[in-house]
Structure 1
Amino acid sequence: IDIVWSLVRRFDEPQKYKPFISECTLRGDLKVGTLREVNVKTGLPATTSTERLELLDDEQRVLGVKIVGGDHRLRNYSSVITVHPETIDGRPGTLLVETFTVDVPEGNTIEET
C-alpha cells in the first residue's frame, strides 16, 4: 500500500501511473490549491488539462483533483482517489478507488462520458 500511495500522491507526476499523460508542469508547491498543466497523449479528445489539487491526506491516503481548464469537453470534473489495504487471494495487496463527477457533455450519454 505504501508503494502505491507514494506514486498516487505525486500530484506533480501523474504520468507515473496514468499512461495517457505525457507531461506535467506544476505551478505551486504540492499544497492544496496548487495547479498543474497536464499534456495528454495523442489519440484522446484533448491535448491539455489544467488541474487544481483540492485534497491531499497522507494519513487517510486520499487525493482530490478538480479540472479548472484545458482544451477538452469535461466541465465541472472532480475526482477523488483513495488507496486501501486489501487481501487478494489470501495475500496482502492494495485497492485503488477513483471516483469522479462531471457534467455530461452535450451530444454525449452518461455511458460515453
Structure 2
Amino acid sequence: MTRYHEPALAPNQCGSSIVQVIDAPLPRVWSVIRRFDAPQAYKGFIKSCSLVAGDGGVGSVREVRLISGLPANTSLERLERLDDELKVMVVSNIGGDHKLVNYRSTTTLHDEEGDTIIGCNLKSLARITEKKKKKAVD
C-alpha cells in the first residue's frame, strides 16, 4: 500500500489514508470502483455524473453533480490512472465550484493479507464500535 499512498507532498499540502475492509470478492469490488463514469454507484452524495471528455479510460474527464446541501454543486475530475492488474485508480480534481485545490485521490484494492497485530486491533475496533452503534439504535 505504501507504494501508492505515500506521495511526496509540497509544504502547503497534506495527505491522509483510510483503510476499509470489505467482505466481498475483490473482483466484484473492483468492478464497481473502476467505473469512472459511474461513481454514484457507491458514492451517496452524487446526484449525477457525465463524461465530458473521453470514454471512461485514462485521460477521461467527468462532471459530477452533487446533492444539494453540500458545500459545492459540481466537481470536474480527470482519470489519471486505471490499472486493472494492480487494482489502482487515481483521480484528480481539475475544477468545479468547491474549495479543493491540487486534490488527488488514489484508490487501491488488496486481498486481505494474514492477520497482524495492527490488523487484529483494527478488526477489534470495528467489532466494538459496530456493537455500540447497534446498541444505540436498539
Q: Shared topology, TM-score over 0.5?
A: yes
Equivalent residue for 1:69?
95
Q: 1:51 aligns with which of 77, 94, 107?
A: 77
* Structure 2 residues without counterparts, runs of 5 or longer: 1-25, 116-138
Q: Rg larger in 1 or in 2?
A: 2
Higher helix share: 2
What's the secondary structure of 1:12's corresponding residue? Answer: coil
Structure 1 Cα separation of the partners of residues 111 and 46 of structure 2: 26
CA offset at residue 88 of structure 1?
9.3
CA offsets, 1:57-111, max 9 Å, x none?
000000000000000000110010001112699xxxxxxxxxxxxxxxxxxxxxx
Kindly indicate whether residue 86 of structure 2 is the aligned counterpart of residue 60 of structure 1.
yes
Equivalent residue for 1:13?
38
Structure 2 Cα separation of the partners of residues 9 and 82 of structure 1: 10
Structure 1 runs of 4+ with >4 Å offset: none
Which runs of structure 2 are paired with 1:21-60 in the superposition (5 Å)? 21-26=46-51, 27-60=53-86
Q: Name the structure, 1 or 2, with higher relative contact order (CA <8 Å, separation 6+).
A: 1
Higher strand share: 1
What's the secondary structure of 2:103's corresponding residue? Answer: strand
Which runs of structure 2 are paired with 1:82-101 in the superposition (5 Å)? 82-86=108-112
Q: CA RMSD in A?
A: 1.5
What's the secondary structure of 2:48's corresponding residue? Answer: strand
CA offset at residue 28 of structure 1?
1.1
Identity of aligned residues (%): 56
Return the letter of the residue paired with 1:8.
I
What's the secondary structure of 1:19's corresponding residue? Answer: coil
Equivalent residue for 1:109?
none
Equivalent residue for 1:95?
none
